Amino acid sequence: MSMAQQAQPPAWRISLRTEERQSELAKTIQRLKKNKGAIAGGIVLTLLVLMAIFAPVLAPKDPVKQEYSRVLKPPSRDAPLGTDQFGRDVLSRVILGARPSLQAAALAILIAASVGTVIGLVTGYLGGWIDLLMQRLIDIQLAFPGILFALAIVAVLGPGLRNAMIAVGISLVPAYARMVRGSVLSVRENAYIEAAQVMGAGTSRIVARHILPNVLAPIVVLSTVGVAWAILIGASLSFLGLGAQLPDPEWGLDLAQARDYLREAWWMSTFPGLAIMLTALSVNLLGEGLRDALDPRLRNR
The Cα 189–Cα 163 span in angstroms is 40
Identity of the residue, 57 or 143, whose beta carbon is nearer to another protein in the bound complex: 143
**Closest distance of CB 80 from another protein, Å:** 20
Q: Closest CB to another protein among 51 and 154? A: 154
From residue 120 to residue 149, the character string flagging contacts with another protein as x (rule: CB under 8 A) and all else as - is: ----------------xx-xxx-xxxxxx-
Buried b (16+ CB within 10 A) or exposed e, 234-266: bbbbbbbebbbeeebbbbbbbbbbbeeeeeebe
Q: Which of residues 24-63 bind another protein (CB under 8 A)?
A: none
Q: How far apart are the first and last CA of the chain?
A: 41
Closest CA to 154 of 92, 81, 239: 239
- Count Cβ atoms within 10 A of the Cβ of residue 77 and give its class: 0-12 exposed, 13-18 middle, 19 or more buried: exposed
Choice from 39, 126, 151, 216 touching another protein (CB under 8 A): 151
The residue from 31, 236, 248, 257 that contacts another protein (CB under 8 A) is 236
Binding mask 237-266 for another protein (x = CB under 8 A): --xxxx---------x--x--xx--xx--x
Nearer to another protein, 77 or 263 (CB): 263
Residues 58-87 that bind another protein (CB under 8 A): none
Query: Is residue 253 within 8 Å of 164, Cβ to Cβ?
Result: no
Q: Are 252 and 244 in contact (CB under 8 A)?
A: yes
Q: How many CB atoms lie within 10 A of CB 170?
A: 18
Angle (CA) 57-90-49 rounded to 5° is 45
Q: Which of residues 75 and 273 has its CB atom nearest to another protein in the complex?
A: 273
- Does residue 2 touch another protein according to CB under 8 A? no
Interacting residues toward another protein by CB under 8 A:
136-137, 139-141, 143-148, 151-152, 154-157, 159, 228, 232, 235-236, 239-242, 252, 255, 258-259, 262-263, 266, 269, 272-273, 276-277, 280-281, 284-285, 300-301
